[in-house]
Amino acid sequence: MSTASSAASRPILPARLRDAVGRNLLMVLLAVLSFGVILLLSGKDPIQSYADILRSTLGSAYGLSEVVVAMIPMLITALAVALPARIGLINVGGEGQLYIGAAFATWAALTLGYLSPWILLPLMMLLGMVGGALWAFIPGYLKAIGLVNETITTLLLNSVAPKVVGFLIFGYWHSAMDTVKTTNFVPAARLPAFFGTRIHLGMVLALVLLTAFWFVMKYTRWGLEMRAIGGNPQAARRNGIPLSRYLLSIMCIGGAIAGLAGMSQVSGFYGVLILNFSMGLGFMGFLISWLAGGDPLGIVLMSAVVAIITTGGNLLQLTRDLPYAVINILLAFTLFVVLARPRFFEGKKA
Amino acid sequence: MTLLSLLGVLSSAIFSGISLLYTTLGEVIHERSGIVNLGLEGVLLVSASSGFAVTVVTANPFLGVLVAMIAGALMNMILGYLVIRREANQLASGLALMFFGFGVSALIGRPYVGAKINALPRLPLPGLGNLPKLYSSLFSFDILIYLAIPCAVLVWWLLFRTRWGLGLRAVGENADTAYASGRDPRLIRFQALFLGGLLAGLGAAHLSIAYTMNWSEYMTAGRGFIAVALVIFSRWHPLRAIVGALLFSGAVAFQLLLQSSGVQISPFLLDTIPYILTILVLIAWGGNRKQSAPASLGRIYHGTE
C-alpha cells in the first residue's frame, strides 16, 4: 500500500518498519472485514467472493494482465496530479483534461486514418497532450495571475469537458449505428498491444513518464526549483525562481499528462471514443496520487491495489450477481482506512 | 409556441431545480464552517436510493423523505470522522466518499429498479383551483417545492442571525480564534456537516420520490458537483443560492424551450452554461475574493495548543 511504499523509499529503522507493515496489514484487514460484512448482509459468501477476486486477478496470467491494463490510466492520471502537487498546485481536473485529450486524439484517428501508424500514433499522442494542456491552461493562467484558485476552476471544468465531448460525438462523430460513440478506430490508430493480452503501449508510456518524473525531481535544476516552490513559494520567488512561469507551465504539463491518459484509453483500450467513457478515472488518479504522497513508487503500488479491486469487481458481478458498482464499496473502505491512518508518516504533501 | 407549452417548460424547470437548491444550501452550511464536501454526489445517491427504497416498502413517501435525510446526514458523518477526527485531506476524503456512495446506492437501490411508488402528493398553487385542469395540473407542486425558498431563508437566519451561526462562520474563518472565544471547532463542524447532510438528503429525496419517481444507478448525473459550483456562484450565501438554483433551472428551461421551438442547439452545450457562468463570475470578482470565501475553507484544524 501507499505507506508501505513510503516505508520502502526512505531509511527507517527495522523496528519501525515492522510496526509500519503491521499497521498496514491491520488497515487492509479492516477494509476487507467491513466489506465482508456488507457481502454477508446482501446474502453472499464473503470468503468465496474474496477468493474469486484474488483468483480472477492474481491467480491467472490473464487476470494479472487485466490488472495491468486497468493500472495504465491510473498511473498516468495520478502523475498528472502528483507533478503539479510538487509546487503546491491542486489539480482536481484530471478528469476533464483526460476527456479533452481523448477528443483531440480522436479527431486525428477519425480524419487522418490513412496515415501510417508511425506518423499517426505520435500525432495522436501529441494532440492528446495539447488538448489536455489547453484544458489545464485556463486554470493555470487564472492561478498564475493570482485571480482564481486552481482547485475550483479545475473542478468546474471537469463537468464541462465530458459535455463538450458529448457534443462532438453526438453532433459530428457518431457512427451510423450508435449515437453515443464514434466509429471504431482504424488499426493504424490503435496503440499496439503485447503478448496477446490487452496490455498496450500505454503501460510503457506510463512507466517512462513516472521514471522521468522521479529523475527530474531528484537530479535536475527544474526539480530543485520546483521543490523550492513547493516548500515556500514566496521565498522561492525572492530567490529569483520565476514563480508564475512555473505555475502556468507545470499546470499545463500536468494537463498534458492527463490528456495523454485520455489518448491511451481511446487508442489503446477502447479503440473508439464513447460518451462518458472515463467514469471517474481522473478522480481516481487524484486519490491515488494523494494516498501515495506523490511518490512514483507509491503511485505504482497504490494503482495496483486499486486495479486489483476494480478488476476483481468485474468478476464479482459475473458470478455473484451483485451490481458492478458495489465494488466501489470495497474500494472506498480501502481508501477510508488509508485516509484515516494514524499520523505515522508525517511530512509528505500530495 | 403556445402558452401551455411555455407553462409546461416553466413547471418542469422548477421541478428539476429544486433538488439543487436544497443540496446547495446544505453545502453552503458546511463550507461556511470550513469543510468542502466533494462527495456530495455520493451523499445524494445514497439518500435518493434509501429514500426511494423506504417509500416502496412502506408506501409512505414522507417516511421516505425522512430516511433520505437521515441517510444524507450519516454519509456526512463519515466525512466528518475522516476530516475532523482523523484530520485527513478534505478533497481526497470527499472523493472517497463519492465512490462509497456509488457502491452503497447501487446495493440499496438494486431490488427497487423500476418499482412504482406513491410519490409525494402534489397540491395546486392556492388561487389556481379554478383554472382548467390542464393548467392547474402543471402548477401542482409537492410540499418540498413550496418549502424550498422558506428553507433558504431559514438557513440564512441560522447562519447570520443566530449565535450558533456566528460561531459556525467564525470556525470557517479562523478555527483557532473561534476556539479562543470559547467555541469547539470540531463540534461545530460536525453539527454543520450533519445539518448539511439533512438538507442534501431533502434534495435527493425530491429527486427520486417527487420528481423522477424512480431509481437508477448514477441518477443524480453530476448534481453534487453542480451544487458545489453553485455554492461558489452564490458566494457562500444562502439567499444567493436561490439565484444559483434559478440559473440552473433557467438553463434547463431554455434548453426545453429551444427544443420545442425547433431550434437546434446541442443540449450538451447548454448543460455547460451553469459551470461556465460560475467560472466567469469567479473571474469577475477575482480581486475581492477575500470577502466571500470562508478563510479557512479546506484547512485542517489540528487543535489549539
Q: What's the pLDDT tens digit per position in B94-135?
A: 999 999 999 899 989 888 888 888 888 887 777 666 667 666
Residue A346's pLDDT band (cuts 50, 70, 90): very low
- With CA atoms as reference, the chain B residue closest to A337 would be B82
Per residue in B149-194, pLDDT (tens digit) is: 999 999 999 999 999 999 999 999 988 889 998 899 999 999 999 9
* pTM of the entire predicted model: 0.86
Q: At what angle do helices B223-233 and A150-168 cross, to 10 degrees?
A: 130
- With CA atoms as reference, the chain A residue closest to B80 would be A340
Contact between residue B189 and residue B84 where contact means Cβ atoms under 8 Å apart:
yes
According to DSSP, the residues that pair with A174 across neighbouring strands are A182
Question: Is A347 within a domain?
Answer: no
Question: Is A190 within a domain?
Answer: yes
Per residue in A310-320, pLDDT (tens digit) is: 888 776 765 66
Chain B interface mutation, best of A30, A39, A163, highest count of B Cβ atoms under 10 Å = A163
Per residue in A245-293, pLDDT (tens digit) is: 888 999 999 999 999 999 999 998 998 898 888 888 999 999 899 888 8
Question: Is A185 within a domain?
Answer: yes
Query: Chain B: nearest CA to A320, how far in angstroms?
Result: 13
pLDDT value of residue B257: 78
Residue A52's pLDDT band (cuts 50, 70, 90): confident
By percentage, how much of chain A surpasses pLDDT 90? 33
Query: Chain B: nearest CA to A332, how far in angstroms?
Result: 5
Lowest-confidence range among A36-40, A89-93, A159-163?
A: A36-40
Question: Is A308 within a domain?
Answer: yes
- The C-alpha atoms of residue B154 and residue B199 are separated, in whole angstroms, by 12
CATH of domain B3-113+132-291: 1.10.3470
- The C-alpha atoms of residue A328 and residue B103 are separated, in whole angstroms, by 5
Per residue in A169-195, pLDDT (tens digit) is: 888 888 888 878 888 888 888 888 888
Q: Which H or E run contains B124?
A: strand B122-124
Cross-chain Cβ contact B100/A350 below 8 Å: no
**Where are the alpha helices (H) located in chain A, listed in sequence order?**
2-9, 14-41, 46-57, 61-85, 94-111, 117-144, 150-168, 202-219, 221-231, 233-238, 243-264, 281-291, 296-320, 327-339
Residues of A in contact with B91 (CB under 8 A): 90, 92, 151, 286, 290
Residues of B in contact with A92 (CB under 8 A): 38, 91
Q: Which H or E run contains A269?
A: none
User: What is the number of other CB atoms lying within 10 angstroms of the CB of residue A54?
Assistant: 13
Residues of B in contact with A341 (CB under 8 A): 86
Nearest to A287 among B96, B275, B279 (CB): B96
Question: Is A102 within a domain?
Answer: yes
Cross-chain Cβ contact B99/A350 below 8 Å: no
Residue A17's pLDDT band (cuts 50, 70, 90): low
pLDDT value of residue A58: 83
- Range of the structural domain that residue A201 is part of: 2-339
Residue A168's pLDDT band (cuts 50, 70, 90): very high
Question: Is A31 within a domain?
Answer: yes
Residue A167 touches chain B, beta carbons under 8 Å: yes
Cross-chain Cβ contact A163/B103 below 8 Å: no
Report the number of distinct structural domains present in chain A.
Answer: 1
Whole-angstrom CA distances from B267 to A222, A305, B27 are: 44, 38, 27
Give the residue among A303, A274, A262, A309 at the shortest CA–CA distance from A128: A262
- The C-alpha atoms of residue B103 and residue A221 are separated, in whole angstroms, by 45
Cross-chain Cβ contact B272/A163 below 8 Å: yes
